[in-house]
Amino acid sequence: MAPALPRPSIDWNRLLARRDVLKLGALLASGTAASVVAGACAPRRDAASVASIDASGSPSTASGPVTMIAGGGDPMAEAPLRKVFDDFASQHPGLSWDVRALPGGGPEWDRLARALLASGEPVDLTMINGQQLRSWARDGLLADLSADSHLADVLARVPARFQIGGPGETATRAFPLAMTRGVQTTGLYYNKALLDEAGLAVPRTIADLEAMVGPLAKVGAAPLVHCSGDVFFNQILLTWVLPMIVERAGGDPHAFADSTVKGDAAYDSPEWIEAFTTIGNLRKSGVMLEGSGATDYLAMQRLFLQGKAATTFQGSWMLPQIEAGTAPRPFDVHVAPPPLVDGAKRPRPILAWAGFALPAAASRPRDAVYAFLEYASRPEVDRAVTAGSQSYSPIAASNDTITDPVAREFLPLFDDAISPIDWLWEPEITAEIDSQVQALVKGATDAAAAGRAVQAVASDLRKSGRSYYR
């Protein structure tokens, strides 16, 4: 969402690059196509030349080339990340980096990365978006990190809630660090200057947003603008409201979302219908700025900066763009927790990230990869990367180095944050949800019809054997 996942300028600007999520193409299957992609990815090699000592003071065994694939931009072009690669290489003579930044995001990155693996070229390490992890695990492309004794100390440094695996498993397949550009969450951006002008407090509930419609109309604004024109951002509305609806009834959001993937619950069940209804009511009540159904990500930012809307629900990845924007009227941006649905006790922001993962098949000895992951996960290294990049780390102690006052307003939101439930759905389900939520924001459908449409896609997936749970 990771989304990007710079401080987010690279992470989840990757989110914007994934606007084509509905244009899911067939994965490259032929070795010929894969070879073309592999040949097009020019490697970056940086050889080391000084003495090699590991953390214990013993001679290092890490040597040879290490090939890593990444998305969201070239990590070697980002000074805080490049320093870690270079510092590690300087400790291991004979080791060289071959870092391949594959272009695009979402389906395009997925296609190119899979093709590179299929080509037979050695790939030792990957930075993978958490949203793609489940399908890679399902297809047997990722190693079980939790079963690898070499990574026990590394995984012990990363809180368990940041470690995820494939469908129906508790194994760890990937984990984030500051080196993978950290983690992101969601919250309600609000313009305090506009709220003050209208005599309003910060909204804590959706009912508060509804009560703001009249006072804000007097100053020419709406309570909320959303970028439904970029369909990828529509699932973010469901990750806002559905977890609270499920928890309010005593359920677990992840277990519930997974039950719909398994077919034990339907996408037109009462919880889903309430979530779709809540989103549709944002438009009906006047909370959502007219035209949000066709507004893209950049236009949403402009409308917020222009004072056409007092708030927008987005991720921490957007803060640098908002702070760099120009506002024609008083503008004082801050961040609040996601507003609560009726009866909910706490909000559920998301924990979005890209993370390190290992290919299931090791084409070369992994000594160098194990040594690098141990090095990159050391608290002092992670803290230095966080300080340099100003990306949020999953290792909480590193986040003391976040300096921007508004960025620091996101930090308490991580306490209630959970892995995005949209990471659990098949890509086809996510695409249909995005389409149906856009229709709700446009007023072109209703909650019941939206639920039936998503359920129809799920039924087709199960019949064709393409569901995660076949």
Q: Which of these, 291, 293, 312, 290, lies nearest to 301 by C-alpha position?
A: 312
The answer to whether residue 223 sits within a structural domain is yes
Same domain, 159 and 126: yes
Same domain, 118 and 201: no
Beta partners for residue 16, in sequence order: none
| Mean pLDDT rounded to a whole number for the chain | 88
Which tens digit of pLDDT belongs to each residue from 232-277? 999 999 999 999 999 999 999 999 999 999 999 999 999 999 999 9
73, with CB counted inside 10 A (0-12, 13-18, 19+), is: buried
Q: Give, for 153, the enclosing helix (H) or strand (E).
A: helix 152-157
The answer to whether residue 3 sits within a structural domain is no
CB 228 within 8 A of CB 234: yes
53, pLDDT greater than 70: no
Instruction: Assign 309 a pLDDT band (cuts: 50, 70, 90).
Output: very high
The answer to whether residue 6 sits within a structural domain is no
Which tens digit of pLDDT belongs to each residue from 201-239? 999 999 999 999 999 999 999 999 999 999 999 999 999
Q: Which of these, 17, 5, 8, 10, lies nearest to 296 by C-alpha position?
A: 17
Q: Whose structure tokens read 């690098």?
A: 372
DSSP-based three-state secondary structure for 381: helix
Which tens digit of pLDDT belongs to each residue from 9-21? 323 233 333 333 3
**Mean pLDDT, range 347-352, rounded to an integer:** 96
Separation CA 101–CA 98 (nearest Å): 10
Instruction: Assign 107 a pLDDT band (cuts: 50, 70, 90).
Output: confident
The pTM of this model reads 0.86
Q: Give, for 438, the enclosing helix (H) or strand (E).
A: helix 427-442
What count of other Cβ atoms lies within 10 Å of the Cβ of residue 331? 17
CB 314 within 8 A of CB 322: no
- Type of residue numbered 153: D
Helix axes 379-389, 367-376, angle to 10 degrees: 70
Domain that holds residue 279: 186-349+426-464
Regarding predicted confidence, which is higher, 316 or 5? Answer: 316
Instruction: Assign 60 a pLDDT band (cuts: 50, 70, 90).
Output: low
CB neighbour list of residue 11: distance below 8 Å, 6 or more residues apart: 2, 3, 4, 5, 72, 181, 182, 184, 317, 354, 391
CB 318 within 8 A of CB 152: no
CA quadruple 374, 376, 377, 380: dihedral positive or negative? positive
Instruction: Assign 427 a pLDDT band (cuts: 50, 70, 90).
Output: confident
The answer to whether residue 1 sits within a structural domain is no
Q: Report the CATH number at residue 278.
A: 3.40.190.10
Strand segments (E) across 211-326? 222-224, 309-315
Same domain, 151 and 197: no
Same domain, 194 and 282: yes
Helix axes 447-464, 270-284, angle to 10 degrees: 140
Beta partners for residue 356, in sequence order: 127, 175
Separation CA 194–CA 370 (nearest Å): 51
Q: What pLDDT score was predicted for residue 168?
A: 84
Separation CA 97–CA 78 (nearest Å): 15
Separation CA 113–CA 34 (nearest Å): 9
Which tens digit of pLDDT belongs to each residue from 144-168? 999 999 999 999 999 999 999 988 8
The answer to whether residue 24 sits within a structural domain is yes
Separation CA 172–CA 64 (nearest Å): 27
Same domain, 168 and 192: no
Q: What pLDDT score was predicted for residue 61?
A: 64
Q: What pLDDT score was predicted for residue 243?
A: 98
Same domain, 178 and 227: no
Same domain, 52 and 164: yes
Same domain, 312 and 226: yes
Count of domains forming the chain: 2
The answer to whether residue 470 sits within a structural domain is no
Separation CA 35–CA 33 (nearest Å): 5
CA dihedral 369, 370, 371, 373 (to 10 degrees): 80
**Tokens matching residue 129:** 């978006």
Same domain, 133 and 61: yes
Separation CA 69–CA 40 (nearest Å): 13
CB neighbour list of residue 308: distance below 8 Å, 6 or more residues apart: 220, 221, 222, 225, 289
The answer to whether residue 104 sits within a structural domain is yes
Same domain, 296 and 203: yes
What is the secondary structure of 344-377 as a DSSP string?
-SS---B-EEEEEE-BSS-SS--HHHHHHHHHHT
Beta partners for residue 276, in sequence order: none
